[in-house]
Structure 1
Amino acid sequence: MSSLGDLICCVAYGLFALYFAQRLLRGRLPVSALAVVFLAALSVSSIWSGLALVDELRHWSDRLPTWLVPGLDLLRFGLWFAFMLMLLPPPRRGGGLGWMRPIAVAVVLARLALIVLGENLPVEALARAQAFASLGLAVLGLVLVEQMLRNATADARWNAKPVCLGLGAVFVFDLFIGSQAALFQHFDGDAISVRSLVHAAAVPLLYVASRRHADWLGKLHVSRAAVFHSATLLLVGAYMLVVAGVGYYVRYTGGQWGRALSVALVFVALVALTLLIASGSMRARLRVYISKNFFSYRYDYREEWLRFTQLLSGSAEPQHTAETVVRALANLVESPSGMLWLQRSAGGDFVQNARWNLPAQAVTEARDGPLATFWRERAWIVDVNEYRQHPEAYPGLELPDWLAEEPRCWLLVPLLVREALIGFVVLGRPRAVVELNWEVRDLLRTAASQASGYLDQAQATEALLEARKFDAFNRMSAFVVHDLKNIVTQLSLMMKNAKRLRDNPEFQQDMLDTVENSLEKMRQLMLQLREGDKPHGVTSGVDLEQIAKGLAAAASSKGRVLELELQPGVSTRGHAERVERVLGHVVQNAFDATPASGFVRLRLDAEGSQARVRVEDSGCGMSEDFIQNRLFKPFQTTKASGMGIGAHESYQYVQELGGKISVQSELNRGTTVTLLLPLFHAQADAPLTALDVQ
């Protein structure tokens, strides 16, 4: 089986090397150092498996030198490592994985040293060291494969996947062999016999990748997130190797308790590893260390800005906006706590508006105090630790007692909108030591500027919503006052006539009906105040003929005449009280604008699917400018004692019903108001649907 695997591996890699070489010679692929290294890796892999096959077929006394096949195996691994490392940018251009190059060289040299020592020492003496060396090569290879896939762009990932899968399979299998050898102090013969066959399985995937695109060997971009994950993976691998080594030392030197002690040690080590990985402080320290030592700049500004903006815009609840701002600024400097202070009102003092893992403060900070005055003059970010040690670095600054005495406070970041101080953020001590250099200060200052605008917009939106609520309440109050005025007018007229007609039985009955009607109207007003703008009562058919006759009777009681031309059986859909209020308002306005010698006429008929009500008068009329620009707007009227509410309310309700109201008028000639309302067919017995209710 071993010979067959070596033969297949030799042929597969050899044919692919020839195919790749002819593509380079014919100009189908660009000739570069990266392509040459890739070709060399393919060629050495073919030679390695070919010599392994030759060594197995030769007689034991005439076999090849013992170092040749392992040396070629190490050489091809080194070439694959070089190929993957060359895909990453060099350290001088901001590559964050420059530290892996010396590690790769060290691992290869350690394996080479073991091959050289193997010529003079017995196999058993170096079994454990060779196992760990093989394991180290496999772990390093997997880290580099992970980097290839993680750092490939969205367009290049389609090309990179076959390469990563092929090489990843090679290194995973070697990881299995090395782990087993480290556990049992000898290599598994069955696994070794199929190793070349498994390595040959990577050839089809490498071939597929080479056929997909001509520039599949392009450079990769390394992000900070990729470096962080790779460093974590490498550290975890090293940690597990150390634990395995210590565990087996305990196992073979601990006597009868050795096996139990090694199991306990491995379990404790795994628990400790889980705690370290889950620790936010450890992750923060690792990120700070990587950014400080492996990159030209501390921050990946694109990633930081996207994360900062996403966190700010992700606050769905307005009450959580303040805490979101604190978290967004704290994440930039690995801070686990903070608080936000904002003005209680425009021109007011600063109070604690939100806090995150810091104690509540019941005090206020004066808007003209030393802290606010300092920021209006300089707008500096204040390092509390530096202020405590060197207060002269902040001339004119005097920190309040609650801030100076709190040991967890670290930075004070002012929030300015167009040079106006709207608040400030207090950040707690970071999880890891962060150097407060120019880059950190600039990033915090820029982020604070965006957060200030975000908070200012949120406060403006909240003020606008509050103003709209007051506006809605004021509008509703104006409608109620208008209706109360009509009720008061009606009751005043009744009381005026009561002194003269109090002994008239018909007047007494009419007075009782008027009082009862006024009480019902006031009850409806109370419902409107309680329910807001929502219509109350039940939507149903409203008999317009009966309303018109009622309006004529009411006018007659006041000594006026409302002429009627009615088509019987015409009804509309709506609330009877509100429809009567609309028609009553139009008729009353006609009477107010018409002298006693003039006329007011109400015509009722049906036009298509609509009920048509026309109120005509011979009064003073209105100008075209008033009709176009002021009529139906609140607080606009031609009457000396009017409020301009009734016309607006009538117009709004007609619109709600799906109707239309139009006005034709000439000065000193009269006015005609036409209302088109949805026709209600009384013979339809079907209940109303939600679509019918406007």
Structure 2
Amino acid sequence: MDSKMAIISAWSYGLAGVLAALLTLYLASGRRNSSRSGAMFLAVALCTVWGMLGLAFALTGQGIFLAGNLLADVLRFGGWYLFLIMLMRPESPAEGAAPTAGIGWLSAIAGLLVACGFVVQAMAVFGVDVVGSSARLALFASLAMSVFGLVLVERLFRNVSPDFRWSIKPLCLGLGGVFLFDLYVYSDALLFNRIDADAFSIRGFAHAIALPLVALSAIRSHDWKRRLVMSQRAVLQSATLLIVGTYLLFMAAAGYYVRFFGGEWGRALQLALLFAALLVLVALTFSGSMRARLRVQVGKHFFSYRYDYREEWLRFTATLSAQGGFAGLGRHVVRGLADMVESPSGALWLKDPSGRFFAQAAFWNMPASAATEDADSPLCRFLLDSGWVINLEEYRSLPRRYDGLVLPSWLVEVPNAWLVVPLTTGSELIAFVVLATARTRIDVNWEVNDLLKTAARQAGAFLGQMQASEALLEVRKFDSFNRMSAFVVHDLKNIIAQLSLMLKNAERHRDNPEFQKDMLMTVEHSVERMRQLMMQLRQGTTPLDGPRGIDLADVLRRIQTAKAGQGREVELTIEEKLLARGHEDRIERVIGHLVQNALDATESGGRVWVRMARQGTQALVEVGDTGHGMSPEFVRERLFKPFQTTKPTGMGIGAYESFQYVHELGGRVSVDSAVDVGTQVDLLLPLFEAGKALKSDELSGKQE
């Protein structure tokens, strides 16, 4: 080591040793009597020894100090392992829900790594080569300890409760950075078969930077009392990381020895082996069967319960809530239930709206089937009465457990059929799901049955709600059609009344040419109106053409003439000729309805009038009478509601239709009425402006 590098190493390891010594004194002076505080004290004290030995080697160049530094490095790893594992261990029996089996495995691996590392490092120090180069083995051991340290830090941070994460975050950052730096140093040394002196000399600086973060966590944590929340997802990720790291270390070692013993072909064989190893690793990573097996093993050996119910419920609810309509919901139900038991496929049989049979409504990775099952079949009765999840493998081996169950032929023919899960809502069987055999062996015990039954009840509620929503939508469509039909019937009633009056007068005036002319016009108008009503039934309530300019004076005169033909007089006052915006036939029908109501409410000799005038930017049509009038309560609560009327033979549709149409145009209807005094209805209709209408027509033409 040259003089400049020795100075850098001295400062580096000296700084790490001094900071570690100060932290050791701080921990020793504090009143921390817990085992975790003792483990941290040991780890920091070993860091102090390691740093001081490195400083001594940099200053003297004596080999004994280098040997002590290398051995202390292994012990330093062991000290941090002990501390991290102590943090993950439950503090008291009250935390018994936290799994301890996984911590036992981690402790065993940590002890094995430290023991092997110490032995291999000692062999390298004394130059003992038993299997290959002991120096090379020492680098492998140090790399493995760095990887395992990262695994412990990752597992601790993922599983700690949110309220303790604030305290533990600096520790995880500091130790994670140290282990990551060591990972770089040792992987670089193994890759290029030489130690990077620059990187190795500044290891002390890396540790010195991490120690203040460790001290910050020690200050925040107060005896390191915390609540560790061990989730299955975090354990699965940690186990995956550990397996991948071990696999890569093993393959790297195999590649090294293939190169060492392979002679001239050694490098080529090494590259081929590493490529094959990476390819196998990628294939295993994306293998659903391998992930399923790993999840099952983690749940079986690391936890008292197989499932993380919070994660399962959030995932299942998110799956059911995904968009996709009724068919999409069926697939989501199948997939959600299948994921709980690692099943690769399934199908949903849903009860027909008639309630007579079940038919396949959705499937996921399973062939479509035209088979149906009667609602009163033995299978459906068994599912409804027992509420059991039928395990077909168990049924084939022990049919006595399913007393009274007879499997239909179509179910026996379903490939790899495994579980039949009933979906109920209330006391009704709404559907059932058939799941295929799982990717890995799963024991369908009470926990699996309870989870599937509970999830199936939630899925049944979702399906029942979806069916109810669709039924309600269908009812609303029929209601809309019935409402439109009521309007049409109301108009037909008026047409029939007009034609009946004409027939009544035909006996007396059939030889009168003027009457014959009026009769032909009336029949023509009635036929045209009925044709429009038929088109309205086919197309809906919205008129086919847009609003146009309407000469209100002509409309009012036609209404006056028509009522005069019925023997009733209507006073008409037109203060100004105005064009209103709307549909002429509907405007005439609205005003004609109001005039007819006024005539019906007024005794012979009473007065009915219509007045038209301008009011701001709107046209005012005032229809008044001196008839019976209406109470304020009726006007306020019932007048513009459908099927509400004061007439003994009325339908209560006209006022409602008039109110709706005028508001669609942007107008307004106001009523002033008093019992035995009379009624005045004011219609405010928007005026027609040619410029705006032309622009509106152009825009609608472009959209078409």
Same fold (TM > 0.5): yes
Does the 8 Å CA contact 2:121/2:135 hold for their aligned counterparts? no
Cα distance, 1:603–1:480 mapped onto 2, change above 3 Å? same
2:59 paired residue among 54, 57, 62:
57
In terms of mean alpha carbon deviation, does 463-472 or 408-417 score higher?
408-417
Q: For 1:660, what is the secondary structure of its paired residue?
A: strand
Counterpart-to-counterpart distance in 2, 1:602 and 1:475: 30
- Per the alignment, residue 681 of structure 2 pairs with 674
- Per the alignment, residue 95 of structure 1 pairs with 99
Q: Deviations over 1:112-161 (max 9, x none)?
A: 22234346543673123212111110110111122233234445445444
Q: For 2:185, what is the secondary structure of its paired residue?
A: helix
| 1:315 shift after superposition | 2.7
| 1:585 shift after superposition | 0.8
- Per the alignment, residue 38 of structure 2 pairs with 36
- Per the alignment, residue 426 of structure 2 pairs with 418
Aligned pairs for 1:101-112 (under 5 A) are 101-112=107-118
- Per the alignment, residue 123 of structure 2 pairs with 117
Letter of the aligned partner of 1:325 in structure 2? Answer: V
- Per the alignment, residue 335 of structure 1 pairs with 343
| 1:551 shift after superposition | 0.8
Cα distance, 1:677–1:641 mapped onto 2, change above 3 Å? same
Letter of the aligned partner of 1:107 in structure 2? Answer: L
Q: Deviations over 1:440-472 (max 9, x none)?
A: 111111111111111111111111011001100
**Which runs of 5 or more structure 2 residues have no equivalent in the other structure?**
none
Compute the TM-score of the two structures, normalised by the length of structure 2.
Answer: 0.89
Number of residue-to-residue matches in the alignment? 685
Cα distance, 1:59–1:585 mapped onto 2, change above 3 Å? closer
Cα distance, 1:209–1:524 mapped onto 2, change above 3 Å? farther
Letter of the aligned partner of 2:112 in structure 1? Answer: A
Q: For 1:397, what is the secondary structure of its paired residue?
A: coil
Q: For 1:87, what is the secondary structure of its paired residue?
A: helix
Q: Deviations over 1:508-543 (max 9, x none)?
A: 543454344335434543443344233443334544
Does the 8 Å CA contact 2:384/2:422 hold for their aligned counterparts? no
Q: Deviations over 1:550-586 (max 9, x none)?
A: 2101112222211123322455443332222111111
Cα distance, 1:572–1:214 mapped onto 2, change above 3 Å? farther
Q: Are 1:350 and 2:352 an aligned pair?
A: no
Q: Deviations over 1:311-342 (max 9, x none)?
A: 11123533311111111111111112111111
- Per the alignment, residue 664 of structure 1 pairs with 673
| 1:244 shift after superposition | 1.6
Counterpart-to-counterpart distance in 2, 1:213 and 1:533: 72
Letter of the aligned partner of 1:43 in structure 2? Answer: A
- Per the alignment, residue 22 of structure 2 pairs with 18
- Per the alignment, residue 70 of structure 2 pairs with 70
Cα distance, 1:296–1:685 mapped onto 2, change above 3 Å? closer
2:206 paired residue among 198, 215, 220:
198
Identity, % of aligned positions: 48
- Per the alignment, residue 274 of structure 1 pairs with 282
- Per the alignment, residue 304 of structure 1 pairs with 312
Does the 8 Å CA contact 1:135/1:175 hold for their aligned counterparts? yes
Q: Are 1:574 and 2:585 an aligned pair?
A: no
Aligned pairs for 1:72-221 (under 5 A) are 72-90=72-90, 93-95=97-99, 97-98=102-103, 99-118=105-124, 121-122=127-128, 125-210=133-218, 218-221=226-229
Cα distance, 1:616–1:219 mapped onto 2, change above 3 Å? closer
Aligned pairs for 1:206-605 (under 5 A) are 206-210=214-218, 218-494=226-502, 505-570=513-578, 572-605=580-613
Does the 8 Å CA contact 1:543/1:571 hold for their aligned counterparts? yes
Counterpart-to-counterpart distance in 2, 1:681 and 1:410: 72
In terms of mean alpha carbon deviation, does 608-617 or 322-331 score higher?
608-617
Counterpart-to-counterpart distance in 2, 1:315 and 1:548: 54
Letter of the aligned partner of 2:275 in structure 1? Answer: F
In terms of mean alpha carbon deviation, does 461-470 or 363-372 score higher?
363-372
Does the 8 Å CA contact 1:384/1:404 hold for their aligned counterparts? no
Does the 8 Å CA contact 1:329/1:447 hold for their aligned counterparts? yes
Letter of the aligned partner of 1:285 in structure 2? Answer: R
Cα distance, 1:168–1:616 mapped onto 2, change above 3 Å? same
Does the 8 Å CA contact 1:414/1:423 hold for their aligned counterparts? yes
Cα distance, 1:281–1:658 mapped onto 2, change above 3 Å? farther
In terms of mean alpha carbon deviation, does 558-567 or 263-272 score higher?
558-567
| 1:109 shift after superposition | 0.8
Does the 8 Å CA contact 2:423/2:432 hold for their aligned counterparts? yes
Counterpart-to-counterpart distance in 1, 2:136 and 2:7: 26
| 1:640 shift after superposition | 4.8
| 1:191 shift after superposition | 3.4
In terms of mean alpha carbon deviation, does 91-100 or 677-686 score higher?
677-686
Cα distance, 1:483–1:294 mapped onto 2, change above 3 Å? same
Compute the TM-score of the two structures, normalised by the length of structure 1.
Answer: 0.90
Cα distance, 1:617–1:125 mapped onto 2, change above 3 Å? closer
